């Protein structure tokens, strides 16, 4: 029983299971009992005792004066008895300041000791809208309208509610009740002007002032606690004299549609960011290529020894030569860091057509866990629930990168030093739509206002210097390119990252990347070779010409110039061609050369700064030409030249 303080009245156990709200009041109007229905109706916390006075809840209505202090309950009892049980229409203020209008009756109980206490019964007012008697005029005393328009009202596919000219709800259909997760008892009589949502209140006030208005946005029901996204149209109902008599609201639950729209919008935004990332990568990679090549050349050509320079101490015991080497080495290391960041941007924007191969999932997950183990072991114990792990679409290094990022994020969300009480769990489930991998942690979780942004490039909640904000966007790019999905979900005490990957087709086999792979090459004297470099970056061509000496580098800055040059001079061991040339794409130049000279076309190698047009991407997918990504180092190009030296394509041509 909900009695919170001793009282001579023993409240019947039956009150606990009543659907109607029951208040227990002492003879001096002090609250001493609330049944569960009353607590729900008044938003009264379960742990809070029944306390305070009746006058703090009630306001006068129906002409009933409050009378002497401490006599309100007694006067309601007298009114109930004198009118044969006719209820009072009474306004109650809930604990959250929302006002409800209820019908109130009361009676008196006597304890065994003869002491008096009052029982007050609260019921929702009947729906008084007359659907068939001339529009929406209120008909007092009718508990239920006749059918016909009532049937339309109740069976409408949207929520409908009627309110009087003060903004108090007088009727609603079942769909409206469902939308809010509430009940008619809680809704009929609710004064919408007292709701905590200021925008809803504004719409109600405009409607009772005679204006039509629309609310579109999030709404949390004060009577049902349900959070939805709704569109509510408020419309006043005017009398024949043009005065506002009442109003009607139409409620459409657009939660699913809005979330689908947000997903599509996010996908569009990610696609746009991917295009932007590719463009940025291209613009950075071109100058970065000749900066790195120049630094590498400077390090190569710096004198290994010079007695005068080595004996010239500049600072900290280091010679001038040592300092020059350190400075160039630091500069090269810095450009390498820039290259890795740009490479991540390229992964984020990588098209699905370039993502091939298949991988064993258990091997991928074990490799990622091994790489992340140093971060995990001091923070949590790792649980592997792999189950069935079929082969999935995607190359193993890229998938390891995805799950390594997720495991590192999971570990870094957990404070160091309490591994015994924290958990990182990796689970695998096979479904009809693919293979689901979940990485769950017991860290601090992700704030609701952040979760929609975590896959955006450069977005991070980590401290400055702990991350670039590219990890999850790279994961998103890799998984999306494979036709899968990645999402974040709050879970008990942490976060669950869910990755859906398509199963590999039976005929799919791991394939070698079309990117040139370099094997160590012995150093020996070589005769000079000639190569053609087709790229609109003139400084990069100049840098290659210097760095590749004694080899000869001939350059062309447009497709037309390159084709003209190749018509009269085919004595090139290597044709290094950028994918994006202003007048012709690299694949278009290649196709034109292939038509007239297949042997010369076999010497082509493409280079790319990261940006592709759709046409160039389609063309690249149909031809078998190696691809080198910018920025490349000098040794990569030297290796390409040496690879071509003994190739069958050049025998018999005097090369």
Residue 639's SS3 state is helix
The pLDDT tens digits of the residues spanning 511-545 come to 433 444 444 444 444 578 899 999 988 888 888 88
Residue 211's SS3 state is coil
Answer for the pair 574, 533: CB distance below 8 angstroms, yes or no. no
Percent helix, strand and coil across the chain, each to the nearest 5? 40, 25, 40
User: If you average pLDDT over residues 128-156, what whole number do you get?
Assistant: 54
Would you state the pLDDT for residue 131?
A: 53
The pLDDT tens digits of the residues spanning 238-284 come to 888 889 999 999 998 888 777 766 666 555 555 555 555 666 666 67
Q: Which of 402, 400, 412, 426 is nearest to 461 (CA)?
A: 412
pTM: 0.42
Q: Which of 483, 401, 368 is nearest to 435 (CA)?
A: 483
DSSP string over 456-501? STT---SPTTS--S-HHHHHHHHHHHTT-EEEEEEETTEEEEEEEE
Number of H helices, E strands in the chain: 18, 26
**For 124-241, where are the E strands, in sequence order?**
159-164, 169-172, 190-191, 213-220, 227-238
User: Can you tell me the distance from the alpha carbon of 65 to that of 77, in angstroms, rounded to the nearest whole number?
Assistant: 13
Query: In this model, does residue 109 exceed pLDDT 50?
Result: yes
Q: What are residue 531's phi and psi, to 5 degrees?
A: -140, 155
User: Which are the contacts of 301, defined by CB distance < 8 A and separation ≥ 6?
Assistant: none
Sole residue written with tokens 């999402």: 487
The pLDDT tens digits of the residues spanning 2-45 come to 333 344 455 666 677 677 788 888 888 888 888 888 888 888 88
* Tokens read off for 460: 């991070």
Answer for the pair 351, 388: CB distance below 8 angstroms, yes or no. no
Average pLDDT of the residues of the chain: 76
Query: In this model, does residue 136 exceed pLDDT 50?
Result: no
Looking at the chain, the whole-number percentage of residues with pLDDT higher than 70 is: 69
């Amino acid at each position: 029983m909900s009695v919170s303080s001793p009282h001579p009245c023993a409240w019947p156990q039956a009150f606990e299971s009543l659907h109607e709200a029951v208040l227990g009041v002492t003879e001096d109007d002090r609250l001493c009992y609330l049944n569960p229905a009353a607590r729900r109706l008044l938003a009264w916390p379960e742990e809070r005792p029944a306390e305070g006075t009746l006058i703090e809840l009630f306001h006068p209505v129906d002409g009933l004066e409050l009378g002497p202090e401490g006599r309100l309950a007694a006067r309601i009892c007298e009114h109930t008895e004198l009118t044969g049980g006719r209820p009072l229409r009474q306004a109650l203020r809930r604990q959250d300041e929302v006002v409800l209008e209820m019908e109130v009756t009361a009676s008196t109980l006597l304890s065994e000791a003869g002491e008096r206490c009052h029982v007050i019964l609260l019921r929702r007012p009947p729906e008084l809208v007359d659907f068939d008697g001339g529009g929406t005029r209120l008909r007092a005393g009718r508990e239920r309208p006749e059918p016909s328009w009532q049937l339309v009202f109740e069976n409408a596919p949207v929520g409908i509610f009627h309110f009087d000219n003060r903004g108090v709800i007088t009727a609603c259909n079942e769909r409206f009740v469902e939308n809010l997760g509430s009940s008619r008892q809680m809704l009929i009589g609710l004064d919408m002007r007292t709701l905590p949502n200021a925008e809803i209140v504004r719409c109600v006030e405009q409607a009772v002032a005679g204006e039509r208005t629309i609310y579109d946005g999030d709404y949390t029901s004060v009577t049902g606690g349900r959070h939805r996204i709704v569109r509510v149209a408020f419309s006043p109902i005017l009398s024949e004299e043009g005065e506002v008599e009442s109003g009607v609201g139409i409620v459409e639950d657009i939660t699913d549609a809005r979330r689908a729209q947000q997903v599509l919008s996010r996908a569009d935004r990610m696609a746009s960011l991917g295009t932007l990332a590719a463009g940025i990568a291209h613009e950075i990679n071109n100058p970065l290529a000749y900066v790195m090549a120049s630094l590498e050349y400077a390090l190569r050509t710096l004198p290994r020894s010079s007695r005068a320079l080595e004996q010239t101490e500049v600072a900290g015991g280091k010679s001038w030569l040592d300092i020059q080497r350190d400075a160039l080495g630091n500069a090269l290391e810095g450009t390498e860091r820039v290259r890795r960041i740009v490479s991540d941007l390229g992964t984020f924007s990588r098209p699905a057509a370039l993502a091939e191969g298949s991988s064993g999932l258990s091997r991928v997950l074990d490799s990622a866990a091994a790489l992340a183990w140093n971060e995990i072991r001091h923070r949590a114990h790792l649980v592997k629930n792999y189950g069935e792990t079929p082969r999935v679409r995607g190359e193993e290094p890229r998938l390891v990168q995805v799950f390594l990022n997720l495991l590192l994020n999971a570990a870094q969300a957990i404070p160091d030093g309490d591994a015994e009480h924290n958990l990182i769990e990796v689970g695998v489930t096979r479904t009809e739509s693919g293979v689901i991998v979940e990485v769950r942690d017991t860290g601090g979780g992700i704030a609701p206002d952040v979760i929609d942004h975590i896959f955006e490039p450069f977005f991070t909640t980590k401290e400055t210097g702990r991350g670039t904000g590219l990890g999850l966007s790279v994961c998103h790019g890799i998984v999306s390119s494979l036709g899968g999905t990645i999402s974040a979900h709050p879970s008990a005490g942490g976060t669950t990252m869910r990755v859906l990957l398509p199963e590999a087709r039976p005929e799919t086999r791991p394939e070698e990347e079309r990117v040139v792979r370099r094997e160590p090459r012995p150093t020996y004297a070589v005769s000079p070779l000639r190569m053609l470099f087709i790229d609109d970056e003139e400084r990069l061509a100049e840098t290659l010409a210097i760095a590749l000496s004694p080899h000869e580098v001939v350059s062309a800055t447009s497709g037309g110039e390159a084709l003209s040059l190749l018509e009269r001079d085919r004595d090139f061991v290597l044709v290094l061609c950028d994918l994006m040339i202003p007048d012709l794409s690299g694949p278009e130049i290649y196709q034109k050369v292939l038509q007239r000279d297949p042997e010369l076309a076999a010497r082509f190698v493409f280079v790319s700064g990261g940006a592709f047009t759709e046409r160039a991407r389609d063309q690249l997918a149909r031809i078998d030409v190696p691809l080198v990504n910018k920025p490349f180092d000098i040794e990569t190009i030297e290796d390409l030249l040496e690879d071509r030296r003994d190739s069958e394509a050049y025998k018999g041509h005097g090369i």
